[in-house]
Amino acid sequence: MAVLEQSLPHGDDNEAYMVKKTRSLRARYVYGFIFLSTNLLAWFVRDYGCRVLMRLQPTRVCEAQEENFFHVSGVLRVSLGCFIFFICMIFTTFGARNLNQARNAWHSGWWTLKFFLYLMSIIAAYVIPVNFIHIYGEVARMGAG
């Protein structure tokens, strides 16, 4: 019983602990929302990417071969960008077991920087060569199973 009482924060420490715990739990919902929005982005790229490109580049109309880029490669690239973001988050927060650790502060805060990291990971996926995207597609298919 004495060990349990020593591990629980008291007074003002308890309030600070509860705030950090709430932020940590709220962060999980935000990460779920990021994953959901990435899935919606992939769906948008798959179904409407070619139409958007036609408006952005009116001199070049999407041909049948280019539609494949948006239907298959577009979804794979968005998926790869999501994978890059979340693997970075895994590596930077791995081992965070205490709410007072710096890694937990990164997990629960710094949302502007993480949003920038997310955008850069999605953009970086569109710079990667097509051959790597096809390899990623095969690996992702097995990983999804």
Quick check: is 70 in a domain? yes
- If you average pLDDT over every residue of the chain, what do you get? 75
Q: What are phi and psi of 37, to 5 degrees?
A: -65, -35
> Among candidates 116, 114, 97, 115, which has minimal Cα distance to 106?
114
d(CA 84, CA 126): 12
Residue 75 within a domain: yes
Nearest CA among 112, 124, 88 for reference residue 30: 112
Which tokens belong to 27? 């962060």
What pTM value is reported for the model?
Answer: 0.69
Give the residue with greater pLDDT, 49 vs 11: 49
Q: What is the pLDDT of residues 67-77, one digit of tens each?
A: 565 677 778 88
Q: Is residue 39 part of a domain?
A: yes
> What is the number of domains present in the chain?
1
Residue 87: domain span: 12-144
